[in-house]
Amino acid sequence: MNILIIDDDRVMRRIIRAMLAEGSHNTLSAGNHIEALSVLSYQKVDLILMDIEMPEINGFDLTRIIRKKLDHWLPIIFLSANESDNYLALGIDAGGDDYLTKPVNQTILNAKIRAMSRIADMQRQLNELNKQLEKLSYIDPLTQLLNRRGLVERLEIDWRANKRKKEELSIMLLDIDYFKPYNDNYGHPQGDLCLQKFSQVLTNCMHRPADSIARYGGEEFLIILPATPIEGARFKAEKIINALLNESILHEHSQVAKYVTTSIGISSTKFGAVDYTELIKQADSALYLAKHKGRNRRVIYQPKTQN
């Protein structure tokens, strides 16, 4: 562990450092709050041994400062010659995790460090698990694409970036043609497999890290194309339509083809949408026209007349 010893007594720092040497720990030291905060600003620290009685800022106040500054938890063990219960209570209230009285017993010190190390490991595992759960909350479990929650967050980020950079942002709203007859005739398990294959086709057609794909509804999908003019989105839509035909997912109950096809509505910020909600409405309007024209095609939104 990287252990930071904070004590205004240089001799005490040396004694504790010698005690920790047998445990193969890496020790750092600070004689006051300025040095301590400096070390924490550039050095990874796993545990702090904090003297309480220090001039200018005592250990309790410094602990409060550290807890406010750091965005993660690390164990802090107080060191003090004061054995009163009141001091122990003050230490816990200040944000400390344990308390050792001076002179420090080496056996007890190392035992407490081992205990804190186990707690720190569990905390890291918990933080990693929470990150994974947070990530899962943005992902559609069937298709492994962004879900509606993830889509909204991505749209907000890309919309702000688009306004800042003053670039054209395009989106595509896609719908699998005649998916209900597919589900009704092949069954829902096969329908789920179709959605997964369709999602994979979309993923294979996207080559830029900035592009995002989301499952917008049951069989509806939305693709965000940052820094992409409308012609670039049109080209991408045609690529998806052709890739889907090459995939040849059998659909004997479609009125368009013997294979699964898609209709695509396209819009971009060039058409004057005031926010991404309006942009989606424009793409949805274009998608409606694509279906009206016979499906298995892409249509670009036009503000007044659509073609």
Q: Where in the chain are the domains?
A: 2-131, 148-300
Total count of residues recorded for the chain: 307
Separation of alpha carbons 32 and 37, rounded Å? 9
Mean pLDDT of 226-253: 95
What is the CATH number that goes with domain 2-131? 3.40.50.2300
What separation, in Å, do the N-terminal and C-terminal C-alpha atoms of the chain show?
67
Give the lowest-confidence range in 67-71, 174-178, 263-267, 288-292.
67-71
Could you tell me the pLDDT band of residue 307, with boundaries at 50, 70 and 90? very low
- Check residue 304 and give its pLDDT: 73
Mean pLDDT of 178-183: 96
Q: Give mean pLDDT, residues 140-166.
A: 92
Cβ atoms < 10 Å from Cβ of 105? 13
**Is the pLDDT higher at 103 or at 259?**
259
pLDDT confidence band for 134 (50 / 70 / 90) = low
Name the phi and psi angles at 267, rounded to 5: -145, 170
Tell me if residue 80 falls in helix, strand or coil: strand
292/307 Cα distance (integer angstroms): 11
Of 134, 168, 219, 238, the catalytic one is: 219
Whether the predicted model's global pTM rises above the 0.85 cut: no
- Mean confidence (pLDDT) of the chain: 91
Residues 22-61 as b or e (16 or more Cβ within 10 Å = b): eeebebbbbbbbeebbebbeeeebbbbbbbbebeebbbbe
| Tokens (6 digits) for 72 | 């993660």
Q: At residue 84, does pLDDT exceed 70?
A: yes
- pLDDT for 136 equals 66
How far, in Å, CA of 135 to CA of 22, rounded? 41
Beta carbons of 237 and 172 less than 8 angstroms apart = yes
Give me the pLDDT at residue 89, please.
Answer: 84
| 219 is known as an active-site residue | yes
Superfamily of the domain at 148-300: Reverse transcriptase/Diguanylate cyclase domain (3.30.70.270)
- Nearest by Cα to 253 from 174, 188, 186, 191: 186
CA pair distance 17, 113, nearest whole angstrom: 13
